[in-house]
Amino acid sequence: MNQYFFTKLVGLLSLFIVIGVQLMGQDAANDIILVETNEPVMIEVLANDGTYCNSTNISIDIPNQPVFGVANLLEDNMVEYIPNTEANFEDGLVDMMSYCILDTEGNIVATAYVFLMGGIDMEDANDIDIEDMSDADEVDEGGPDVLQDIDMCEVLTCVWPGDANHDGAVNAWDLLSVGVGYEMQGPPRIDSSTEWEAQLAIDWNYNQTDGSNYKHIDGDGNGIINMTDVTSIRQNYTSTSSGKTEDDLENESEIELSLHILNETISESDTIQIQVQLGGESDLIEDVYGVAFSIRYNEGIIQSNSFQFDYDNSWLGDNEELLWIYKQLEGGIAESSVVRMDHFGTTGGGIICGANFIMEDVLAGKTEDYSLALEFEKVTVIKNDGSEIIVKATGDTQEVIYASAPTILENKNYLSVYPNPAISILNIELDRVEAKKYEIVDTKGQIVLNAPIKKNEDSFRLNINDLYTGVYMFRVFTATGIIQERIVIVR
Ligand SMILES: [Ca+2]
Ligand SMILES: [Ca+2]
Ligand SMILES: [Ca+2]
Candidates 451, 468, 447; CA nearest to 460 is 451
User: Start-end ranges of CATH 2.60.40.3080 in the chain?
Assistant: 415-489
For the domain made up of 3-156, give the CATH fold. Answer: Immunoglobulin-like (2.60.40)
pLDDT of residue 2: 41
pLDDT of residue 205: 86
Quick: pLDDT tens for 137-162: 444 444 445 555 567 777 788 999 99
Ligand found nearest the CA of 99: 1
Query: pLDDT band for position 363 (50/70/90)?
Result: low
Cα 93 to ligand 1 centroid, rounded to whole Å: 20
User: Start-end ranges of CATH 2.60.40.10 in the chain?
Assistant: 3-156
Does residue 309 come out as left (phi exceeding 0), alpha (psi in the -120 to 50 range) or beta?
beta
Query: pLDDT band for position 128 (50/70/90)?
Result: very low
Q: Which residues surround ligand 3, an ion (CB under 5 A)?
A: 218, 220, 222, 229
Q: Above pLDDT 70, what percent of the chain?
A: 84
Cβ of 194: how many Cβ atoms within 10 Å? 19
Q: Which residue has the higher pLDDT, 190 or 285?
A: 285
pLDDT of residue 24: 38
Quick: pLDDT tens for 75-118: 889 999 999 998 888 887 889 999 999 999 999 888 888 989 88
Can you list the pairs that 144-147 forms with residues at least 24 positions away whose Cβ atoms lie under 8 Å?
A: 144/33, 144/34, 144/35, 144/41, 144/42, 144/43, 145/33, 145/34, 146/31, 146/32, 146/33, 146/34, 146/47, 146/48, 147/32, 147/34, 147/117
Mean pLDDT score, 8-17: 37
Query: pLDDT band for position 16 (50/70/90)?
Result: very low
CATH label, 246-400, candidates 3.40.640.10, 2.60.40.680, 1.10.3720.10, 1.25.40.10: 2.60.40.680
Total residue count of the chain as it appears in this document: 491
Cα 403 to ligand 2 centroid, rounded to whole Å: 43
Quick: pLDDT tens for 162-202: 999 999 899 999 999 999 999 999 989 988 899 999 999 98
Cα 171 to ligand 2 centroid, rounded to whole Å: 6
pLDDT of residue 137: 43
Query: pLDDT band for position 347 (50/70/90)?
Result: very high
User: Start-end ranges of CATH 2.60.40.680 in the chain?
Assistant: 246-400
CATH label, 415-489, candidates 3.90.950.10, 2.60.40.3080, 3.40.190.10, 3.30.750.24: 2.60.40.3080
Cα 196 to ligand 2 centroid, rounded to whole Å: 12
pLDDT of residue 491: 87
Query: pLDDT band for position 11 (50/70/90)?
Result: very low
pTM over cut 0.95: no
Is residue 110 within 8 Å of 45, Cβ to Cβ? no
Cα 212 to ligand 1 centroid, rounded to whole Å: 30
